């Protein structure tokens, strides 16, 4: 068994595995680590071109005679074989500046599957939210305007369970937060840039 050094620091229990123990600790306990190399590129244009089979509908929500919502549908069949206009995409201008701020994609059941957000109103995607059966499962965000994600948030049954960050912009995750009961349970940090956790910080107030 790997020996452990235990000490209290700022009210938090810090766990550092000795020498080889720290080096052998894997970055993600759950085996679902996502590096910046295989993550979604978030710098794409938030507004997409209308495909040939889509029908666009414009809606003015604030009464300024300019469209705020652009809805895209395609011809499809319902479960009982009826012809329907199935929702596939929706684009929203939430600040009435004439530019799209939110773009949503929907699955065959018209449940949201992906949501792209332009948080700084420059026309580029800063954050992408992913859904399964209409429930949030992951968020990816570019915190440094580098054109690629540096923050990942993972959800189970709609609740946050893990955060991962690339804090130094080298394209590798080096900071992990594991959440239990809607609070941080433990934090892992890669101090030498090898992709492995060198220090674990346990929340003494965590129930687990």
Written as tens digits, the pLDDT of the chain (208 aa) is: 433 333 333 333 333 333 333 333 344 444 444 444 444 556 688 998 888 899 999 999 999 999 999 999 999 999 899 999 999 999 999 999 999 999 999 999 999 999 999 999 999 999 999 999 999 999 999 998 888 999 999 999 999 999 999 999 998 999 999 999 999 999 999 999 998 999 999 999 886 5
pTM (two decimals)? 0.78
Q: Is 36 helix (H, G, I), strand (E, B) or coil?
A: helix
In this structure, what is the dihedral angle of CA atoms 131, 134, 136, 141, given to the nearest 10 degrees? 50
Domain definitions of the chain by residue range: 7-44+132-208, 47-124
Q: How far apart are CA 134 and CA 148, in angstroms?
A: 25
Helices then strands (H, E): number in the chain? 1, 14
């Amino acid at each position: 068994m790997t020996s452990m050094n235990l000490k209290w620091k700022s009210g938090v229990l810090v766990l550092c595995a000795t020498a080889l123990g720290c080096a052998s600790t894997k970055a993600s306990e759950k085996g679902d680590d996502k590096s910046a190399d295989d993550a979604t590129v978030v710098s794409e244009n938030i507004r997409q071109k209308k495909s040939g089979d889509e029908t666009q509908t414009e809606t003015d929500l604030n009464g300024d005679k300019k469209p705020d919502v652009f809805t895209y549908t395609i011809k499809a069949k319902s479960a009982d074989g009826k012809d329907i206009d199935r929702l596939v995409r929706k684009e929203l201008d939430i600040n009435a500046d004439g530019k799209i701020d939110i773009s949503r994609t929907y699955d065959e059941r018209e449940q949201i599957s992906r949501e792209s957000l332009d948080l700084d109103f420059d026309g580029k995607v800063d954050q992408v939210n992913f859904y399964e059966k209409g429930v949030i499962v992951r968020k990816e965000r570019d915190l440094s305007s580098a054109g690629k994600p540096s923050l990942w948030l993972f959800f189970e049954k709609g609740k946050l369970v893990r955060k991962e960050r690339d804090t130094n912009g080298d394209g590798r995750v080096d900071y992990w937060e594991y959440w239990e009961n809607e609070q941080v349970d433990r934090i892992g940090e890669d101090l030498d840039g090898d992709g492995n956790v060198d220090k674990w910080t346990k929340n003494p107030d965590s129930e687990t």
